Amino acid sequence: MSYEKLGFGSWLDPLQKGKMVSDNSVDMPPSVKSWLDDHSVKSIALAPVMVDKACWGFISLAMFDREQVWSEPELDALQTVARIIGAAVHREKMIKELDSKRVQLAHSGRLTAMGEMASGMAHEINQPLTVINLSADACTTYFNRNFPDAPEAEAAEDIHVQVKKIARIVENMRAFSRRSSEEMSLVNLAYPVQDALTFFRVQFRERQIELIEEIVENMPEVKADKQKFEQIVVNLLSNARYAVDKRAETVEGFRREVAVRLYVDSLSPDQLKSFGLKKKDLFAEQVIMFEVEDNGIGMNEDVKNRCLEPFYTMKEVGEGTGLGLSVTHSIVKELGFYLDIDSRENVGSLFRVIIPLQQDDHHV
Ligand SMILES: Nc1ncnc2c1ncn2[C@@H]1O[C@H](COP(=O)(O)OP(=O)(O)OP(=O)(O)O)[C@@H](O)[C@H]1O
Ligand SMILES: [Mg+2]
């Protein structure tokens, strides 16, 4: 039975505001009185246990044999005990929270360290690659001059091709781990999108996730940091991948789909409103729209409201840092763009980056 039904509702309000309540059974509503009579309580005093300014529960003192006005020292003692319990619960909560943050921080620290290592490795690998390439060059020249039809001539050519492949992987690794270049220049955003996609295409194919690409290549250039925009794309795509994989775990034969779109759009007044934007937020009628849409697990209201918070993650400890979207959001804000999230639980999510076109942007 609920507190309200029993008639305890009148106590709830002051308790939730952190105030003490004391009452004699004669002054109480009949339902409360009968409940207290059943429990032989004649007089009661309650003190809220406040944890971090919210009422977490309460403790009470009850008198069983008579009605009474509670004395100051009795009420003081009750309140003190409630405060001690409140402080203990708060401490316990903080310790738990700190512990999980510590695990997550250690994880993000490891990621940073891995980034550094990748960058170091890329550098180290590049040197021997240069030597291999030069040697293959020497071989090609030698064979072409002396034995142009020898199979070894072809082998030397193969070495070239493979070295190029490794060089590209290494370059990607380096680009990924590079610290922000802090460089704003005029960028056709199709490039960073394509760069990020080279990484995901293979991965998606291997996992049999359908990747729908609707990228307009011929985009007006906007002032942006290519590296940072690439990071946005990577974060959104990796979240989409996780969301569709997660849904496939529970729905048999599920077709996982992720769509990536980049196009120029002009926003209708309704759209502006739904994105929470005003006309003056944009310089021109037109915007560039970057979208990542998935048919994954989606988000309920609570997750949607909190997903941009740093360290907020629904993933298991160690699986995610909860930093992806908060980093994404801060980059989006820094670049002067807007982020819009549309998501429904068990249906999917649509993340949109809205990029205002500026007057002096270069139209191709
Ligand atoms: N496309 C999506 N579909 C459903 N839920 C999502 C999606 N993107 C993000 N979320 C939810 O938002 C949370 C926060 O995302 P965020 O990218 O910040 O961290 P993460 O993905 O959990 O960790 P990391 O990015 O370090 O792997 C996720 O744990 C997930 O619950
Ligand atoms: Mg993420």
Summarised one tens digit per residue, pLDDT across range 173-227 is 666 555 544 578 899 999 999 999 988 998 899 999 999 999 999 999 999 988 8
Ligand 2 center to residue 312 CA distance, Å? Answer: 10
Q: 304 and 201 in one domain? A: yes
Ligand 1 lined by 221 (C-beta under 6 Å) = no
Q: What is the pLDDT of residue 41?
A: 85
Predicted local distance difference test score (pLDDT) of residue 364: 47
**Which atom of ligand 1 is closest in space to residue 296's alpha carbon?**
3
Query: Residue 241: nearest ligand to its CA?
Result: 1
Ligand 1 geometric centre to CA of 120 (Å)? 29
**pLDDT confidence of residue 178:** 55
Q: Which of 120-124, 148-152, 161-165, 345-349 has the highest mean pLDDT?
A: 345-349
What's at 44, amino acid-wise? I
Question: Same structural domain for residues 198 and 307?
Answer: yes
Decide: 315 in ligand 1 pocket, CB within 6 A. yes
Nearest ligand by distance to the CA of 328? 1
Q: What is the CATH number of the domain that holds 214?
A: 3.30.565.10
Atom of ligand 1 nearest to the CA of 297: 4
Percent of the chain beyond pLDDT 90? 39
Q: Which atom of ligand 1 is nearest to the CA of 108?
A: 26
Indicate whether 37 and 127 sit together in one domain. no
Q: Say whether both 140 and 258 belong to one domain.
A: no
With 70 as the cut, is the pLDDT of residue 137 above it?
yes
Q: Which domain holds residue 20?
A: 3-70
Q: Following DSSP, what letter does each residue of 181-238 receive, concatenated?
A: ----EEE-THHHHHHHHHHHHHHHHHTT-EEEEEE-SSPPBEEE-HHHHHHHHHHHHH
Q: Whose CA is nearest to atom 24 of ligand 1?
A: 320
**240 CA to centre of ligand 2 in angstroms:** 8
Residue nearest ligand 1's atom 30 by CA: 314
Q: How confident is the model at residue 108 (pLDDT cuts 50, 70, 90)?
A: low
Residue 359 is predicted with a pLDDT of 60
Q: Is the CB of 303 under 6 A from ligand 1?
A: yes
pTM of the prediction?
0.59
Given pLDDT bands bounded at 50, 70 and 90, which one contains residue 257? very high
237, 196 Cβ separation under 8 angstroms: yes
Residue 226 falls within a domain, yes or no? yes
Please give the Cα distance from 26 to 38 (Å, whole number). 14
Choosing from 47, 70, 93, the residue where a domain stops is 70
273-322 pLDDT per residue, tens: 888 888 777 777 789 999 999 999 999 999 999 999 877 889 876 677 78
Judged by phi (left if over 0) then psi (alpha if -120 to 50, else beta), residue 85 lies in alpha
Q: What is the mean pLDDT of the chain?
A: 86
Mutate to test the pocket of ligand 1, among 238, 245, 303, 325 (most ligand atoms within 8 A of CB): 325
Number of domains in the chain: 3
> What is the tens place of the pLDDT at every residue in 338-360?
999 999 999 999 999 999 987 65
Q: pLDDT category, 88, cuts 50, 70, 90?
A: very high
- Radius of gyration for the alpha carbons in the chain, expressed in angstroms and rounded: 31
Residues facing 23 on adjacent strands: 44
Q: Is the pLDDT of residue 4 over 50?
A: yes
Residue 172 pLDDT: 64
Q: Is 258 in the pocket of ligand 1 (CB under 6 A)?
A: no
Q: Say if residue 282 is in the same domain as residue 206.
A: yes
| CA proximity to 243, closest of 293, 298, 200 | 298
At 36 the pLDDT is 79
> Last residue of a domain, which of 175, 198, 215?
175
pLDDT of amino acid 290: 98
Indicate whether 171 pLDDT > 90. no
What percent of the chain has pLDDT above 70?
A: 90
Which helix (H) or strand (E) segment holds residue 343: the answer is: strand 338-344
Higher-pLDDT residue of 274 and 247 is 247
**Choice between 52 and 25, residue whose per-residue pLDDT is larger:** 52
Residues 334 and 222 reside in one and the same domain: yes
Residue bearing the CA closest to ligand 1, atom 25: 324
For residue 348 and ligand 1, the question of a CB distance below 6 A is answered with no
Q: Pick the range with the lowest mean pLDDT from 29-33, 123-127, 174-178.
A: 174-178
Q: What's the mean pLDDT in 136-147? A: 91
What is the arithmetic mean of pLDDT over 121-149? 89
pLDDT at position 33 over 70: yes
